[in-house]
Structure formats: C-alpha cells, structure tokens
Structure 1
C-alpha cells in the first residue's frame, strides 16, 4: 500500500497527538510502580483551594519529532533543486517548534492547590490535577497519602 506525502503527514500528526496523552496527576490514579507499595496515611481538613494550571510536557520527543518530520516533508515541497533541501530544513525546524508547542498545550491540566491543616497542627500545600471537574472544598476531611516522592490528597 502506497501512502502519499499528505497521508504520511496525516498519519504522523495523529501519532503525535496520541503521544501527547500523559500520566494522570489526580489523587486516585496510580502508576504501575506505585501499586503494592506502602503509603503512609495522615488526615486533615481542607483550609482553602485555589485553581491552578499544571503546565504540559515540553520534554517529550513526540511533539517535536513528529512536528519536525511533518514540517520537513511539507518544506521539501517548496521550490526546486537546492531550494527543496533548504525548504525541508526550515520546515523541519518550524515543525519541531510547532510540534513542541502543540504537545505542551495538549498535555496541560487543570489543577488545584490544596491548603491542608493536618491533625498534628501542621499546615501544608499540595498541587494535584482536578478529577472529573470536582475541586476539593474548604472544611472537607481528607486523607493525605505519601509513598516515596509521591503525595496525593483523597477522600
């Protein structure tokens, strides 16, 4: 099956967007490595909640790489002779920058900064992704789960 340049660009674009899905940062999503690990539990009361934005990935090779490939293909169709090579290089650079920007935007998350007063009197703040559009509310009693370098707030 032959795939034209337009089809290849479309395929790469779809692959780029599929690769943008990052790990969830909610309080109820666990990585494979966190399963079957001891989590230390503390309890507290939510003092305040502030909506925040959790920046998207800018270190992923998917957006930059796929963007560079698509841009290079598109740029190679500009001009003729050595102009095509220059167009391919410029297209690859521009595509890489655009791909990286798209990846950051696609992986950006709605977050919440949760200020907690723990039962031991300590006040702490933690940022995590908002789950299903539901923010914690001041006055709610919550659990703080800690394991390794990961801490999460749950009910």
Structure 2
C-alpha cells in the first residue's frame, strides 16, 4: 500500500511539473509582465501539426528511483534486500524519467507566416485550439526572447 501511495505521489508530481510551463500563444511567465513586445503583422501561409517533446527534469527520475528503491528493498532479506533496492532504484529512475517525458509531451503547431515586409517566418508553439488558418491575418509578438502568434 505504501508503494502505491508513493507511486500516486510521483504521478502527481510529474503531472504538476508538466503543467507548470505552457508554450502556447496565451501562456505568459510572470517575468514577461510589464515587458515591451514588438508587434508585427502578417498573413498565415501554412499550418502544420507537430509534437512537442516532454520535459526531462530530475523530478521523474528521482521520484521513480525512490519508488523503485523502496519496492526493490522488499525483495529478499539481508544482502538480497540491498541489491533489490539498488536494482529497483535504477529501474524506477528510468521508468520515472520515461513517464515524465511521456506525460508532459504535448501537441504543437508550426505556423508559417508571410510578414507585411515580405519576410517569411515559421514559429512553433503549443496548440491551444486557436485553429489558425492559411490566409488569416495575425500578429507576431516578440520581445527578444519569446515569439508568439496571436490574433
């Protein structure tokens, strides 16, 4: 039962870590407030669905190693328990890292724009259901570090 509780806690931590930072047009970090962004106008030339890889932070690895180590330590006794803990920690760490990456993977959209000055640009951002369409006039917001396409 204790292992199940730790597994649920790991899953919750990984899920929260995945939700912490969005990459869509409407997602702003607190540090982006009160910062000037340049606005350029253009027309969408093309839209293509892409996959954004998940996060690979220590959260999944450490959580999985902890759960695996505890689970492995219940196998055998004495040296067998210690070996089981080490093997469980390694396997759990690998599984936790893979789970975090899979759980935080998201759908994205690559938007190709023809700017008013004739320049062609492509921007990839998280797909948040904006349903951009070719021929649609949009705004490109840039601040030197972040670029996003909005209506």
Q: Report the TM-score when normalising by structure 1.
A: 0.90
1:96 maps to 93
Using the TM superposition, give the Cα deviation of residue 18 of structure 1 relative to its aligned residue in structure 2, in angstroms: 2.9
Is contact 2:14–2:103 with CA below 8 Å preserved after alignment?
A: no
Instruction: Provide closer, same or farther for how the CA distance between residues 6 and 33 of structure 1 changes in structure 2, counting only shifts above 3 A.
Output: same
Task: Give the secondary structure class of the aligned counterpart of 2:19.
Answer: coil
Is contact 1:13–1:70 with CA below 8 Å preserved after alignment?
A: no
Cα RMSD of the aligned pairs, angstroms, is: 1.6
Q: 64, 67, 90: which one pairs with 1:67?
A: 64
Task: Give the secondary structure class of the aligned counterpart of 1:115.
Answer: strand
The total of aligned residue pairs comes to 151
1:144 maps to 140
Q: Report the TM-score when normalising by structure 2.
A: 0.93
Query: Structure 1 CA distance, aligned partners of 2:127 and 2:8?
Result: 32
Is contact 1:22–1:107 with CA below 8 Å preserved after alignment?
A: no
Q: Which moved more, 1:133-142 or 1:95-104?
A: 133-142
Q: 36, 39, 43: which one pairs with 1:38?
A: 36
Query: Structure 2 CA distance, aligned partners of 1:113 and 1:13?
Result: 30
User: Structure 2: 5+ residue runs without aligned partners?
Assistant: none
Query: Structure 2 CA distance, aligned partners of 1:109 and 1:153?
Result: 18
